[in-house]
Structure formats: C-alpha cells, structure tokens
C-alpha cells in the first residue's frame, strides 16, 4: 500500500502484532540466543508484518514480497540510519554499505563502472587461475584423506580473487592473518549490534583490544594497497575511485574515503560469496543426486578444458543449484532500514523512527511462494518456475536502488568455483562434525566445515 510521505494520519492503520517480550528489554534475549528461529516463529505465528520490541527499539519484520518491494523501492521513506549501520561504520567508515542520500549516490556512481558486464567478464581468468591453484593444493589432502576446513578455504579463495580483481594486488601468505582478522572484526561488530549496552571503545576490555588489533591489521593491508596504487598505474576499481570526480568537479575521494571504500569492497566482496560456497558444499553432500548432476554438467561442458566465457552460459544446472543454495542459506540474512516518515505496510502502521527488518532468510521460506521450503531443489530455478514466481520472493542480493553492486561478480565467481571443484572432487562431511548456522553480519558455518576430498577424475 503506497502512501505519500507526510500524508498518513498518526492513527491510520493498525499496530502490527508480535510477541510481547520482557519489560524493558522486549525480545532481546531471544534475538541474542536464536534470531533466525525468532524471526521464523514470528512470521508463522503473527503473519507478514511482525512487531518486536528490542531493548529501546521497535523493529518491524516485513516478510511478504509485496511489502519487501515497497520498502526497498522507497529509499526516500526508509534510509540506513540504523544502529546496525552505526556499528558497521566503526569498521568500514562511511562507505557504500552504510552511507545515505547524496553521499551514497556519489559513491555508487563512482563504483558502478567497476562492475560493468565487460569488466566482470574480464575477471574470469583471475577466478579460474586462483581456483585452479586451490585445487592443486588440495591434491595431497585428497590422496591422504586428510580433512580440510572448506569454510576457511572458501574465505581465502574469495578474498584472493576480490583483491586481485578489484585492486590488482595479491595478499600472498598474509591471507591467513587477514582471514583471522576479518573473522574477529565481523564477530565483534555483530555482538555490538546485538547488545546496545556493550562497553564503549575506550574501555580496554579484552574484546575491544582484540577488535582494535584486528581492525588495524586490515587497515594496514588496505593502506599498502592504496600506496601501491599511488606509485603505479593500474586499471581497476581503486584507480577509478582515485580519478573519479564528484558532482562539484572536485576529486571524489580523499585517503580516508578511499580506505573506507576499499575495506567495504574487500569485506562485502568476499565474505558473502565464501559463505554461499561453504553452504553449497554442505548441501551437495546431503543431496548426492544433485552433486552428481553438477559434476556431469561440468564434465560435459568443460571437457577437461580450461574454463572460459564460452563455457559459463552452458552451466545452467550449476547456476540453478547455486541459486537454490543461496535461497536456503542466504549470506545476507537480514537488512535494516529506518522509517523516516509514517507509513503503512501490509495494512499496518510503521511509525516514523521505528526500524524495519527485511530478512531474505524468512522471505525465502514464505510458504505462499516456496512450498517445502527446507528441501534443496535446484529445479525451483528453471525458467518457467522463475517466470511464475513473484519477482521479489527471491532477494539474496537485495533489490531496488540499493541492490548489491557486485552481484554479477558474485554469481560468476560462484558458478566458476562450483563447476571447477565439482568436476574434480566430491566433498564429504567428516562424520560427527557439527554443522550449525551462525547469524552474524553474514550467515556463517559456526564450527567451520571439515570435509574430506574424494577425487572424481577429470579436471585440469
């Protein structure tokens, strides 16, 4: 239901239903304990708009694709000035992920060309080369039966790809240190989002000290990347940002802003893809018939050749499989907005100043659009199925004006990695290894993912 800003009487519309929670803190304990379960139960109990009290905040969970479309399509009504953005800003600075209004629009215009179709296609060789190196390193583990942590391997692979593709640099042996630092800063940031009463930065708690050290490790890497670009000539995103101009004709980004955008791209550009790939391997182990089809398609398309652009479009079942994996385990499981004016969503009043949460994790399980939603079924993404489905029922990269700028790169990366790994290996979970979703900034595998490698034959 669309309403003009400022024209909604305060009493118009009903208050959305939801659990009462505890006096003063509302549903904060349940959110900290199991936020995914809290949201799913809320949706199935109260409907498509659920009102939660979380400490001093009122948060509305919006689930139906019609209502998701309304919120995403109206950035003038719903901005990103939220507590979650404030905490992320402590890590990234005022980068593309958390900026608002004209500042966001300037940043988006400067960054968008780096993800043009031609640019993204030029990254194929980087993705293939780095994936091949990883597969070659796996040979000893495959031969001896030694388990590997697939979650860690995907993190290191996607980080290396994004740094080389967007910034023409290579972290080399430093990637392990960076992986650890990124894990620390993201976990600490999410803990602060969960708990508004966390100790301030200046109090030297163990967690604060550890966060600052990890953040500095990441910043030092970013500063070296920027300094390399000051000395050399590159054709990449960072060079574009250095040479971009704002609408007033002045240089668009100073050193502080360059750092913010670089950190944002490094984190957002590898973390989500790595988690999507991690969960994919878990699902393929659970559904061996799907894994076999992905393997057979890779063998039939690649014919032991090096993967090129000509192969990508033929990997249709692999693409469907990756999309379905991202439906079930959506890396960005929730996004938040602040209502800047009174509004009506799904027939319920959304008062100015309250928060709106859109959860792809929940919308991807909406029974009206996803029957038997927990079942892994790539055929949901056959063309006829996609055409018949609500266009906002599947939103792993968001939608509207602020859709993920790097979604085409993420999809290409996931497709290539899936095909190359599946062609060469079957991955099997180590018996007894716990598998548990961890809802943080992204949807991680809490205990990593220890798997063994079973050679399939074929592959470069």
DSSP states of 61-97 = EE-SHHHHHHHHT-TTTEES-SHHHHHHHHHH-S-TT
**What's the token pair of residue 248?**
């007033």
Give me the pLDDT at residue 249, please. 47
444, containing H or E segment? strand 443-445
At residue 26, φ and ψ (nearest 5 deg) are 60, -130
Residue 192 near residue 165 (C-beta atoms within 8 A): no
* Pairwise CA distance, residues 278 & 340, whole Å: 37
DSSP-derived letter for residue 389 is S
CA-nearest of 128, 189, 180 to 155 is 180
Cα separations in angstroms, 405 against 14, 105, 114, 298, 385: 36, 12, 9, 28, 25
* Pairwise CA distance, residues 251 & 193, whole Å: 34
51 DSSP β-pair partners = 60
* Pairwise CA distance, residues 317 & 321, whole Å: 6
Taking the CA atoms of residue 213, residue 217, residue 222 and residue 223 in that order, the dihedral angle to the nearest 10 degrees is: 80
Give me the pLDDT at residue 3, please. 46
pLDDT tens over the chain, length 460 residues:
444 444 444 446 799 999 988 888 889 899 999 999 999 999 999 999 999 999 888 999 999 999 999 999 998 899 998 989 999 999 998 888 888 888 888 888 888 888 899 999 999 999 999 999 999 999 999 999 999 999 999 999 999 999 999 999 999 989 999 999 999 999 999 999 888 778 888 899 999 999 999 999 999 999 999 988 888 777 888 888 887 755 444 445 677 888 888 999 899 889 999 999 999 999 999 999 999 999 999 999 998 899 999 999 999 999 999 999 999 999 999 999 999 999 999 999 999 999 999 999 999 999 999 999 999 999 999 999 999 999 999 999 998 888 889 999 999 999 999 999 999 999 999 999 999 999 999 999 999 999 999 999 654 4
Taking the CA atoms of residue 447, residue 443, residue 285 and residue 316 in that order, the dihedral angle to the nearest 10 degrees is: -160
Three-state secondary-structure class, residue 104: helix
DSSP class per residue in 264-295: HHHHHHHHHHHHHHHHHHHHHHH-HHHHHHHH
Angle between helices 83-92 and 175-194 (to 10 degrees): 160
Residue 285 near residue 428 (C-beta atoms within 8 A): yes
* Pairwise CA distance, residues 115 & 416, whole Å: 17
Give me the pLDDT at residue 4, please. 43
| Residue found under tokens 């200046």 | 202
Cα separations in angstroms, 146 against 149, 258, 374: 10, 42, 31
Cα separations in angstroms, 171 against 70, 180, 218: 42, 14, 11
């Amino acid at each position: 239901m669309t309403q003009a800003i400022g024209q909604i009487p305060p009493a118009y519309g009903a208050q959305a239903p939801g659990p009462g929670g505890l006096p003063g803190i509302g549903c904060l304990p349940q959110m900290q304990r199991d936020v995914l379960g809290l949201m799913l139960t809320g949706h199935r109990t109260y409907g498509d708009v659920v009102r939660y009290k979380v400490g001093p905040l009122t948060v509305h969970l919006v689930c139906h694709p019609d209502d998701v479309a309304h919120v995403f399509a109206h950035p003038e009504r719903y901005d990103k000035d939220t507590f979650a953005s404030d905490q992320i800003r402590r890590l990234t600075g005022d980068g593309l992920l958390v900026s608002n209004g004209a500042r966001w629009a300037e940043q988006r215009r400067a960054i968008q060309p780096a993800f043009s179709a031609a640019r993204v296609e030029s990254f194929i060789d980087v993705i293939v080369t780095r994936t091949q190196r990883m597969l070659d390193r796996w040979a000893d583990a495959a031969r001896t039966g030694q388990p590997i942590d697939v979650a860690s391997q995907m993190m290191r692979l996607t980080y290396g790809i994004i740094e080389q593709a967007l910034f023409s640099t290579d972290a080399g042996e430093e990637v392990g240190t960076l992986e650890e630092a990124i894990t620390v800063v993201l976990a600490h940031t999410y803990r602060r989002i969960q708990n508004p009463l966390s100790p301030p930065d200046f109090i030297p708690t163990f967690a604060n000290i550890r966060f600052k050290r990890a953040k500095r490790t990441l910043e030092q890497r970013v500063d070296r990347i920027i300094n390399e670009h000051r000395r050399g000539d590159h054709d990449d995103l960072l060079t574009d940002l250095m040479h971009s101009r704002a609408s007033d004709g002045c240089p668009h980004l100073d050193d502080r802003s360059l750092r913010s955008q670089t950190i944002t791209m490094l984190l957002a550009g590898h973390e989500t893809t790595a988690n999507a790939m991690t969960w994919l391997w878990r699902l393929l182990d659970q559904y061996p018939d799907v894994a076999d089809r992905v393997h057979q398609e890779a063998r039939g398309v690649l014919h032991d050749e090096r993967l090129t652009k000509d192969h990508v479009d033929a990997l249709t079942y692999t693409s469907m499989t990756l999309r379905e994996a991202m439906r079930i385990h959506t890396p960005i499981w929730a996004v938040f907005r602040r209502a800047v004016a009174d509004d009506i969503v799904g027939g319920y009043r959304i008062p100015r100043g309250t928060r709106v949460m859109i959860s792809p994790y929940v919308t991807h399980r909406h029974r009206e659009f996803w029957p038997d939603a927990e079942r892994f079924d790539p055929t949901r993404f056959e063309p006829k199925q996609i055409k018949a489905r609500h266009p906002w029922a599947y939103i792993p990269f968001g939608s509207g004006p602020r859709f993920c700028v790097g979604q085409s790169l993420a999809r290409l990366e996931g497709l290539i990695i899936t095909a190359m790994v599946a062609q060469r290996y079957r991955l099997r979970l180590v018996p007894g290894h716990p598998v548990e979703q961890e809802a943080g900034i992204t949807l991680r595998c809490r205990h990593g993912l220890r798997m063994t490698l079973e050679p399939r034959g074929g592959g470069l």
